[in-house]
Amino acid sequence: MDSRLQLPITEVKGIGDKLAVHLNELGLFTVEDLLFYFPYRYDSYEIKPLTELIHDEKATIEGRLMTDPAVQYYGRKKSRLTMNLQVESFAVKAVMFNRAFAKNQLSAGDTVTVTGKWDQHRLQVTVSQFKKGPAENQEPIQPVYTLKESVTLVKLRKVIKSAIDEYSEDIQEILPEDYVLSYKLPARIQALKQMHYPESRVMLKHAKRRFIYEEFVIFQLKMQLLRKLQREATSGNAQQYDNRVLTQFVQSFPFELTDAQKRSLAEILKDMKSPYRMNRLLQGDVGSGKTAVAAISLYASITAGKQGALMVPTEILAEQHYESLTNLFNDKANIVLLTGSVKGKRRSQILDQVKNHEADIIIGTHALIQDDVAFSDLGFVIVDEQHRFGVNQRRALRDKGLHPDVLFMTATPIPRTLAITAFGDMDVSIIDEMPAGRKPVETYWVKGGLTERVLSFIQKEVKKGHQAYVICPLIEESEQLEVQDAIDLYHQLAEIYEPHITIGLMHGRLSNNEKEDVMKKFSSNEIQVLVSTTVVEVGVNVPNATLMVVHDAERFGLSQLHQLRGRVGRGAEQSYCILLADPKGDVGKERMRIMTETTDGFELSEQDLKLRGPGDFFGRKQSGMPEFKVGDMVHDYRALETARQDASEIISNDFLSKDERFRPLLQIIEQDANIQGRVLD
Ligand code: ADP
Ligand code: MG
């Protein structure tokens, strides 16, 4: 099926070898590529009454020249052409830069059509496009494609038109008819034509709606199918943990698990017992008690005779986890710590213990995935703050065992909308409840720097016996600068507060020993105010700290601010967060406002996503986010959710292999190299 669409583009009328080369550069090789090369934007050239135009937005205006255009020259080769137009009963000025040549084409009495930015107050348009004559003959909605210089819009549209004419019979429906009907989607060929030659905004909207659904459902089908195939391929790792011993362990805790912890734990244990490899993400706000859940699942694995590994992004965090797990486990397990600073003989001892199963649990940083780290029987892997590791690093740890169960943890709640796409191949457990007695951190936004008021607030908290963090911004381009800021601030505060209050300094340039030393002093309250860069962002746990001051807070994203704020509010006392910020733009102000209004990480992450867009959400480096041609995960999340449910129904009923209606979809999905030949056996 569709074979003619796979022909090279040179088969299309009007595409010679030369044009073909240029189209290839745009990634277009087959007829199908060309047909589905959609515009990324549509410009509107509709003429609207002046009163309906929106200030500062693009508008198209048709008017009559009341005088000959005037040209002013300034600078080198720069010019400004002014047209005085009569539009309806108004006098409108149209200003056009560096196109003085137009003066010779226009004279008083002519009709012109101009498009540009509309200034409502001055009744003026700054022209980006102009045409002599009335607006008619101009298509009101014009597609805009990504083009290379050598391929003009006119040329591209011409060859797309011939491709549609010649190949329309081959563009067949791929969705089952009942889906098309029940979602009222236009047929595939109709939708395709509208994408390139929209007749109206409404028709275009439905065409897009169709392709959004189509690409989402194909994406979801692939994800869910792969997950199913993967599950089946990794069967045989059921962990027979000892429920009785596990219950005793939980009962030895100084607190009772929250309902959300219990629920997540049950989900994890169920996965462990199942014959399939677990691939699960545990999401929970900072302080929601993920570590406790992690510890219990690690213990479950130990009672099943396996080893467990916990990988975290920083040494400080590794040490903290090591300490808290050692306390929790008492002598129930042999826990070892492996970080970059563990070297020489100590390191080889630890490696030996891990290799001959003397060690039950190994906690560490990237050091865990070095080649010479070998396990006797690794059954359970936890990756904390998983977004800080690349895909390959996560896989490297997993591959040190034979189908170990894998649990990822994150305190950066991922909006549901993203979780179902980015993590379509993972199950998700959510701890959406804080341990009882926690007081939400009161958050204030203060304009200006460390004012008198803020300084005395710090002093007041310290007098109560509490501690404070003062954070300096992360300046990605210059670690040097960042450290300098922290050092400056440290000296300033030392001058103001010492000797009554002891100030500490922490940043990425300190050696590990120095860092550890500072953290120990802060933990034991020898240091009351810790000036730091964002190295304390993740995981640091000092419950006596009740105040978080963030300098230049406008430089941080919402999720990061939330992480920083999570360093306080970990004890029973009321905690505070003060954001010192002078944001310039609206987005920055909005961020500060949101921070002061909610402490719910999930809500924050949804808002952050809206402000930043999905591309930025995880940071560019490792996003691994799928790219869609027409759909937008955030904007079109309802379609995405619908597609996810439909895909789930299709997969669980084996419709792809059993139901004729899904043949065309199956053919598309099977083009994926990972799926090829694995659906129908
Ligand atoms: P997370 O890893 O999600 O940030 P932690 O597991 O470090 O959170 O828990 C934060 C603090 O709350 C720890 O001191 C922990 O002992 C405590 N804690 C965890 N679960 C509970 C609970 N159910 N009730 C009371 N305190 C809890
Ligand atoms: Mg944690």
pLDDT band, residue 228 (cuts 50/70/90): confident
Please work out whether the CB of residue 566 comes within 6 Å of at least one atom of ligand 1.
Answer: no
Q: Please give the torsion angle defined by the CA atoms of residues 296, 297, 300 and 302, in that order, rounded to the nearest 10 degrees.
A: -100
Look at 489 and 426; give whichever has higher pLDDT.
Answer: 489
Residue 338, H or E segment: strand 335-338
Whether residue 8 has a cis bond before it, omega within 30° of 0: no
Rounded (5°) CA angle 495-501-503? 65
Q: Which has the minimum average pLDDT: 28-32, 500-504, 536-540, 630-634? A: 536-540
Alpha-helical (H) ranges within 508-628 are 512-523, 558-565, 586-597, 601-612, 614-617
Question: Is residue 28 in some structural domain?
Answer: no
The share of the chain scoring above pLDDT 90, in percent, equals: 56
Residue 78, H or E segment: strand 78-87
Please work out whether the CB of residue 207 comes within 6 Å of at least one atom of ligand 1.
Answer: no
- Ligand 1 centroid vs 565 CA: distance in angstroms? 16
Are 416 and 457 part of one and the same domain?
A: no
Asked whether the beta carbons of 176 and 19 are under 8 A apart, the reply is no
Question: Is residue 152 in some structural domain?
Answer: no
Q: Which has the minimum average pLDDT: 147-151, 183-187, 326-330, 653-657? A: 147-151
Regarding beta strands 503-506 and 529-532, do their DSSP bridges make them parallel or antiparallel, or are they unpaired? parallel
pLDDT band, residue 475 (cuts 50/70/90): very low
Are 395 and 337 part of one and the same domain?
A: yes
Best CA proximity match to 468, nearest among 530, 520, 517 = 530
Tell whether the model's pLDDT for residue 623 goes beyond 60. no
Please work out whether the CB of residue 255 comes within 6 Å of at least one atom of ligand 1.
Answer: yes
- Number of domains comprising the chain: 4
Question: Given the CA of residue 285, which atom of ligand 1 is nearest to it?
Answer: 3
Q: Please give the Cα distance from 58 to 306 (Å, whole number).
A: 65
Range of the domain at 357: 257-431
pLDDT band, residue 154 (cuts 50/70/90): confident
Are 332 and 406 part of one and the same domain?
A: yes
Please work out whether the CB of residue 571 comes within 6 Å of at least one atom of ligand 1.
Answer: no
Q: Quick: pLDDT tens for 104-129.
A: 999 999 999 999 999 999 999 999 88
**What are 293's two structure tokens?**
């859940």
Question: Is residue 521 in some structural domain?
Answer: yes
Residue 348, H or E segment: helix 344-355
Tell whether the model's pLDDT for residue 513 goes beyond 60. yes
Residue 125, H or E segment: strand 124-132
Work out the average pLDDT over 56-63. 90
Tell me the pLDDT of the chain averaged across its residues. Answer: 88
Question: Is residue 238 in some structural domain?
Answer: no
Please work out whether the CB of residue 588 comes within 6 Å of at least one atom of ligand 1.
Answer: no
Q: Quick: pLDDT tens for 174-186.
A: 999 999 999 999 9
Q: Cβ–Cβ contacts within 10 Å for residue 206, how many?
A: 15
Confidence at residue 622, expressed as pLDDT on a 0 to 100 scale: 40
Are 565 and 673 part of one and the same domain?
A: no
Among 570, 598, 626, the domain boundary falls at: 598
Confidence at residue 461, expressed as pLDDT on a 0 to 100 scale: 95
Please work out whether the CB of residue 614 comes within 6 Å of at least one atom of ligand 1.
Answer: no
Confidence at residue 621, expressed as pLDDT on a 0 to 100 scale: 37
Question: Is residue 619 in some structural domain?
Answer: no
Q: Please give the Cα distance from 339 to 312 (Å, whole number).
A: 10
Are 387 and 265 part of one and the same domain?
A: yes
What φ, ψ does residue 447 adopt, rounded to 5°? -85, 145
Confidence at residue 679, expressed as pLDDT on a 0 to 100 scale: 73
Are 425 and 459 part of one and the same domain?
A: no
Question: Given the CA of residue 543, which atom of ligand 1 is nearest to it?
Answer: 14
Asked whether the beta carbons of 150 and 15 are under 8 A apart, the reply is no
Rounded (5°) CA angle 318-324-329? 120
- Ligand 1 centroid vs 435 CA: distance in angstroms? 7
Please work out whether the CB of residue 382 comes within 6 Å of at least one atom of ligand 1.
Answer: no
Work out the average pLDDT over 486-505. 91
Asked whether the beta carbons of 556 and 495 are under 8 A apart, the reply is no
Among 396, 431, 466, the domain boundary falls at: 431
Question: Is residue 382 in some structural domain?
Answer: yes
Confidence at residue 17, expressed as pLDDT on a 0 to 100 scale: 93
Rounded (5°) CA angle 430-319-545? 70
Confidence at residue 394, expressed as pLDDT on a 0 to 100 scale: 84
Are 274 and 323 part of one and the same domain?
A: yes
Work out the average pLDDT over 596-606. 86
Please work out whether the CB of residue 134 comes within 6 Å of at least one atom of ligand 1.
Answer: no
Give the residue whose CA is nearest to atom 10 of ligand 1. Answer: 287
Question: Is residue 436 in some structural domain?
Answer: no
Best CA proximity match to 533, nearest among 283, 316, 324, 363 = 316
Pocket perturbation via mutation, ligand 1, pick of 249, 250, 251, 255 by most ligand atoms within 8 A of CB: 255
Question: Is residue 165 in some structural domain?
Answer: no
Confidence at residue 474, expressed as pLDDT on a 0 to 100 scale: 59
Please work out whether the CB of residue 379 comes within 6 Å of at least one atom of ligand 1.
Answer: no
**What are 66's two structure tokens?**
């009341």
Asked whether the beta carbons of 372 and 351 are under 8 A apart, the reply is yes
Q: Is the pTM of this model over 0.85?
A: no
- Ligand 1 centroid vs 571 CA: distance in angstroms? 10
Confidence at residue 64, expressed as pLDDT on a 0 to 100 scale: 95
Tell whether the model's pLDDT for residue 201 goes beyond 60. yes
Give the residue whose CA is nearest to atom 23 of ligand 1. Answer: 257
Give the residue whose CA is nearest to atom 20 of ligand 1. Answer: 289
Work out the average pLDDT over 603-619. 69
Asked whether the beta carbons of 377 and 401 are under 8 A apart, the reply is yes
- Residue by residue, DSSP assigns 542-576 as -TTEEEEEETTGGGS-HHHHHHHHTTSS-SSS--E
pLDDT band, residue 580 (cuts 50/70/90): very high
Residue with tokens 């719910």: 600
Work out the average pLDDT over 479-495. 78
Are 426 and 461 part of one and the same domain?
A: no
Please work out whether the CB of residue 288 comes within 6 Å of at least one atom of ligand 1.
Answer: yes
Q: Which has the minimum average pLDDT: 129-133, 184-188, 365-369, 648-652? A: 129-133
Rounded (5°) CA angle 235-240-241? 135
Are 454 and 507 part of one and the same domain?
A: yes
Are 327 and 413 part of one and the same domain?
A: yes
What φ, ψ does residue 314 adopt, rounded to 5°? -130, 160
- Ligand 2 centroid vs 320 CA: distance in angstroms? 9
Look at 337 and 517; give whichever has higher pLDDT.
Answer: 337
Confidence at residue 620, expressed as pLDDT on a 0 to 100 scale: 38
Question: Given the CA of residue 384, which atom of ligand 1 is nearest to it?
Answer: 2
Tell whether the model's pLDDT for residue 416 goes beyond 70. no
CATH number for 322: 3.40.50.300
Are 555 and 530 part of one and the same domain?
A: yes
Confidence at residue 358, expressed as pLDDT on a 0 to 100 scale: 96
Tell whether the model's pLDDT for residue 478 goes beyond 70. no
Asked whether the beta carbons of 85 and 79 are under 8 A apart, the reply is no
Question: Given the CA of residue 257, which atom of ligand 1 is nearest to it?
Answer: 23
Pocket perturbation via mutation, ligand 1, pick of 282, 291, 544, 565 by most ligand atoms within 8 A of CB: 291
Are 571 and 507 part of one and the same domain?
A: yes
Look at 616 and 621; give whichever has higher pLDDT.
Answer: 616
Tell whether the model's pLDDT for residue 350 goes beyond 90. yes
Please work out whether the CB of residue 506 comes within 6 Å of at least one atom of ligand 1.
Answer: no
Q: How many residues does the chain have?
A: 681
Give the residue whose CA is nearest to atom 19 of ligand 1. Answer: 289
Best CA proximity match to 191, nearest among 173, 170, 218, 169 = 173
- Ligand 1 centroid vs 376 CA: distance in angstroms? 31
Tell whether the model's pLDDT for residue 422 goes beyond 70. no
Q: Which has the minimum average pLDDT: 224-238, 344-358, 397-411? A: 224-238
Best CA proximity match to 591, nearest among 559, 632, 618 = 559
Among 548, 578, 598, the domain boundary falls at: 598
